[in-house]
Structure 1
Amino acid sequence: MGDVWQDVLSVQPHPDQWIIIGAAAVALAVVLLGQPWRVARNVVTIAHEGGHALVALLSGRQLTGIRLHSDTSGVTVSRGRPTGIGMILTVFAGYVAPSVIGLLGILMLMAGRITALLWLSIVVLAAMLLMIRNLYGVISIVATGAVVFGVSWFTPHEVQAAFAYLFIWFLLFAGVRPVIELQSQRMRQPSPHSDADQLARLTGLPGTFWVMVFLLVNAAVTLLGVWMLFF
């Protein structure tokens, strides 16, 4: 365990530039292509619901459970005031969480904390697992955690670096597409339960306004992440 702890706290060398660029290209392809996206979107859902859960706790709400569904939707339930800034921030956090997590991950990668990033991901997944309230959610969290653990435990630092960059690039790029899908779904089949429409009821501003805010925030965060790594 001492060796493991030393690895987690140590600074790993940055991979070659071609690995970083290659990981970005693969991550972008996964976001843009249909079948890979349908599988990988489960990771986005975990980040989305994790964002709701974290902000709910930080705003003083009581988190009661998280459900992840096979259609890549999810639900996070918390108790507290049904209105107010805490509720607004909790609802807002979901769609911006993947991109923000990606940006925070880039900061860790730039500091050479590759192994620490992987183990932090495992800790966060384990914490979320305690709040999962359905079987598919348990399977999704455990499978994701098993992949990250396998890479961090059984592979050399070079492979860990490539995987970490792929993982973070994916979260960074994946923030925009769900927002576009949200607006498309709202146009085809309006639902009062979408995050944008819940924010509309909480703030009095139209749901489309909140969709545009989600899109602008995620696009800005993505561009910032790309600039940080390449410029």
Structure 2
Amino acid sequence: MQLRTWGKTIAFLIGTAILTHFIPFSSFFKNVDTLIHESGHALMTLLLSGNVQYIHLFSDHSGVTLSTVSGSWRFIPISLAGYIISALFTVLLFYLYKTNRQKQGLLILTILTTLALLLFVRNGFGVIWCIGFIVLNIATYLCTWPWLRNAYYALIAFICLVESVVGPVYLLCQSVVQPARAGDATNLAEATFLPAFVWSLLFTVVALWCASHSIRLFLQQSKSQAS
């Protein structure tokens, strides 16, 4: 991206973060990004013929996935999957928004959450959160007021947009201050010759690129509605 595009993307993200912070119950939806992130780890584990022991979601919007896989190299794509799939999923949410397929987006979110609940999520908070999110999605999906359904979907999409970038940026800072406690970046540093900072920087660049693409999709939709 060009420097001007980077600046616009960051400014849009900051504005979105401030606005969504003041929306009631917005904190509840931050775990959507966490679930997608942890599900990304789980999916990659399964693709590499590993076993997913459990996913835990926590009230502070953090999460953990415990998995076992043979071959140390397999931990590299597994560790990469979380932040990258989270960022790409945000693009999908905004693509569905742009094409006026919010109901399909809610259906995808509900199916993914249900599968995660049935197969992987095993801690108390995580189970309760998944059930609550599923119920909210179904109720909104069946809602006869399109404006409410679209607003609900947009709230989820924008919170996922912000969280998909905040996570890697936090990781980037952590890799400088405490590189041994930089989560997925630390795991990748231990599995490769590259330091945690390089991996967290990669996550941040991917997240910002996906965020920029998501924002363009949103602005294209806004222009089409205005015209």
Q: TM-score range by the shorter chain?
A: 0.7 to 0.9
Counterpart of 2:48 in structure 1 is: 59
TM-score normalised by structure 2 residue count: 0.79
- 2:77 is aligned with 1:89: yes
| Equivalence map 1:1-231=2 (5 Å) | 27-29=16-18, 39-84=28-73, 86-130=74-118, 131-191=120-180, 194-231=183-220
| SS of equivalent residue, structure 1 residue 191 | helix
Write the distance in 2 (CA, Å) between the matches of 1:193 and 1:121. 28
For the structure 1 residues 139 and 45, does the alpha-carbon distance in structure 2 shift closer, same or farther, using more than 3 Å as the test?
Answer: same
Equivalent pair of 2:56/2:64 in contact (CA under 8 Å) = yes
TM-score normalised by structure 1 residue count: 0.78
Q: Which runs of 5+ in 1 are unaligned?
A: 1-23
| Cα RMSD for the two superposed structures | 2.7
Counterpart of 1:3 in structure 2 is: none
Q: Which runs of 5+ in 2 are unaligned?
A: 1-12, 221-227
Instruction: State the Cα deviation string for residues 141-162 of structure 1 (Å, max 9, x = none).
Output: 1122222222112342222122
Counterpart of 1:13 in structure 2 is: none
Shift of 1:192: 5.0
Equivalent pair of 1:101/1:172 in contact (CA under 8 Å) = no
For the structure 1 residues 26 and 208, does the alpha-carbon distance in structure 2 shift closer, same or farther, using more than 3 Å as the test?
Answer: closer
For the structure 1 residues 176 and 206, does the alpha-carbon distance in structure 2 shift closer, same or farther, using more than 3 Å as the test?
Answer: same
Counterpart of 2:223 in structure 1 is: none
Identity %: 26
Shift of 1:40: 4.0
Equivalent pair of 1:48/1:98 in contact (CA under 8 Å) = yes
Q: Which amino acid in the other structure matches residue 185 of structure 2?
A: A
